Structure 1
Amino acid sequence: MTICVPLTDRALVEVSGEDRVSFLQGLLSQSLEALPPGEARYGALLTPQGRLLFDLFVVGRPEAIWLDVAAARRDDLLTRLKIYRLRARVDIRPLEAGVWTCWPEPPGPGWVPDPRREGLAWRAWGPAAPPAATGSLEDWRARRLAYGVGDAEDFDFDRDYPVELNFDRVGGIDFAKGCFVGQETTSRMKRRGQVKTRLVPIRFEGPPPVRGSEVLKGELRAGEVRSGVDGLALALLRLDRIDGALSVDGRAVSAGAPLPER
């Protein structure tokens, strides 16, 4: 059975105009070169210091590029892009169209694979999406947590570094492209092996801990919980403290392995 979920927590920004590719290419962590209509890539817009500002999907369209971003942060993204626009020949505007995900198979044409993990889901925007939902946002949360994939609700914007959030392991950073905002810090963390903390799955009995709950190894802080469902959550943990007995709110917790290299 195919499950389809309207992602009401996501929204779209349209960037059009003859400079749209070069404009976004100099900003985003993902390459836009040879992005054909109908293809989606995952990426981010960072601060100059390399911290995450926006996670987003970059969607190729015939005469534009769509940015699929957290709905609560769309206005902030519009403002930030317009600051960077300067003399670039681009038009930036909000786009009122739906964002959908489905799994394990697409219900029809117009769907593209979620680029973050093979087999995770399919994604569609606007009229390509189905007319009715067969699942909920909670179903989608359980699906992506089972694959160890973070989403906007797992990120502390303007605080977290994208490599800590596994952007390097879900195809969200193109280390071979030219300059982008925040590239120097991001590349240095990856190149020098300075990643000491990562988003990893944790398992436990019962309902998920509240976001921000402290994960302990004995009396030492190991990290904090981000999003979760019954029995499973993602937590931002120190890699040197993920082995052995962990606890959250007095409950035993076991940590899984970080996502593998792509």
Structure 2
Amino acid sequence: MSLIPGTCSPPHPWPTHAVSPLTLSAPWARTSSASTLGWEGPRSRPGQSAEVCGHAPGPPSGAPVFAGRLPECDCSEVPAFLLECDRAVLGALQTHLGLYKIRRKVIVEPCPELCVWSVLPCTPVEAYGAAPLREPAKRTTILARDPRTGCMGWRLLTQDKGLALVSSGQLGDLRDYHRHRYQHGVPEGVHDLPPGVALPLESNLAFMNGVSFSKGCYIGQELTARTHHMGVIRKRLFPVRLSGPLPAGGITPGSLVLTESGQAAGKYRAGQGDVGLALLRSEKIKGPLHIRTSESGRVALTASVPDWWPTAK
């Protein structure tokens, strides 16, 4: 699932992008596969903090939940928390969160009236905290910087489904949005982060303000904390580029990625066209890699390390 951003401060500086004002042809697109859940009630903060692996001290906040993020919201007008999730697992997420209500007076319900938009950055700048994004529409409910990385720009939650959301803005193709995040190695949704399969650290959520190593307890904390403190994460989700003739239906998710000698280096996760994500063993990414296709051919694959990832000091 993909979650939506809040306004938490990043654990480390990253290159960010300025759009000031937003009307200067900022590319934006409606993420049609995204839905929102509202978690409302006087004791909603303790509940959310216990169910997420990042900090959720209260609005504004940002943390992954079921592979998601928590956005800032005004609790006097909207639910205490809004969770963006993949539409395919909306019902499953609602049921899952309901298991943890216990005696809390909270309501977990979908917010079908809200639309999720992504506004991509126009101009990269060096320092974090560039010019703020200006209010683009009167019916905007949430306007927040994407906490995953500066190159993902902003997220809007609105009640406006029309194309006049941003005056003079540039309506982008949703496929361009997905290509943009694949090129930068940003996973989103059940195809990139399959529930029950994707692990937080292998999915680089710790790089995207998604994991706290100072709080507890949350489901999976023991494995996540042990892996982190051992300092060895053998596999990661890397952005990859494919070259050579591609199969008509694209590369099958889960296809083995092989080294030149035929050893398994990992698995292809998802993508669009010639860009995508693959879960690869870190020590294998520098050598020649390929995927064997069903047509008895092979497609070369090149992995890269995103420039927004933190570097060892």
Return the match for 1:185 from 205, 223, 226.
223
Deviation of 1:160 after TM superposition, in Å, equals 2.1
Distance in 1, Cα, partners of 2:216 & 2:200: 18
Post-superposition CA distance 1:163-214 (Å, at most 9, x none): 1010111111122223222211111111112311100012222555222221
2:115, 2:160 within 8 Å by CA — same for their partners in 1? no
- Residue among 138, 141, 144 paired with 2:178: 141
Identity rate, percent: 27
Deviations 1:48-97 (A, max 9, x none): xxxxxx21121232221101111111100110111111101211111111
CA deviations 1:116-174 (Å, max 9, x no partner) are: 01132210112378645812321111111121111122122102211101011111112
1:88-237 pair list within 5 angstroms? 88-96=104-112, 97-104=114-121, 108-109=135-136, 111-127=143-159, 131-132=163-164, 134-152=171-189, 153-205=191-243, 207=246, 209-217=251-259, 218-237=261-280
Asked if the contact 2:29–2:173 (Cα under 8 Å) also holds between the matched residues in 1, the reply is yes
Distance 1:104 1:130 in 2: 21
The equivalent of 2:8 in structure 1 is none
CA contact (8 A) 2:45 2:58 kept: no
Q: Which amino acid aligns with 1:69?
A: C
Higher mean alpha-carbon deviation, 120-129 vs 59-68, is at 120-129
The answer on whether the counterparts of 2:72 and 2:144 sit within 8 Å (CA) in structure 1 is no
Determine if the alignment matches structure 1 residue 26 to structure 2 residue 47.
no
Contact 2:40 2:108 in 1 (8 A): yes
Kept in 1: contact 2:55–2:63 (CA 8 A) = no
Rounded to whole Å, the distance in 2 between the matches of 1:88 and 1:169 is: 32
Larger Rg over CA atoms: 2
3-state DSSP class of the match of 1:92? strand
The residue aligned with 1:47 is: none
CA shift for structure 1 position 101: 0.5
Q: Which runs of 5+ in 2 are unaligned?
A: 1-24, 123-132, 165-169, 293-297
Number of equivalenced pairs: 250
Query: 2:94·2:109 contact (CA, 8 Å) conserved in 1?
Result: yes
Q: 1:219: how far off?
A: 1.0
Aligned AA for 2:103? R
Look up the equivalent residue of 1:253 and give its one-letter code: L
In structure 1, the residue matched to 2:30 is: 6
8 Å CA contact 1:4–1:102 kept in 2: the answer is yes
Please, what is the CA RMSD of the aligned residues?
2.1
Contact 1:214–1:222 (CA<8 Å) still a contact in 2? yes
In structure 2, what residue type is equivalent to 1:43?
P
Secondary structure, in 3 states, of the residue corresponding to 1:209?
Answer: coil
| 3-state SS, counterpart of residue 144 of structure 1 | helix
Counterpart AA for 2:207: R
* 1:70 aligned partner: 86
State the distance in 2 between where 1:123 and 1:3 align: 12
Kept after mapping to 2: 8 A contact 1:14/1:93: yes
* Secondary structure in 2 matching 1:164: coil
The alpha-carbon deviation at position 107 of structure 1 amounts to 7.0
Contact 1:2/1:107, CA 8 A, preserved across alignment = no
Question: Match of 1:48?
Answer: none
Task: Point out the structure with the larger strand share.
Answer: 1
1-side partners of 2:184 and 2:43: how far apart? Answer: 36
Query: Residues of 1 paired with 2:70 and 2:62: CA distance?
Result: 5
Q: TM-score, normalised by structure 2?
A: 0.74
For 1:119, what is the secondary structure of its paired residue? helix
Query: Runs in 1 of length 4+ with deviation above 4 angstroms?
Result: none
Q: Which runs of 5+ in 1 are unaligned?
A: 45-53
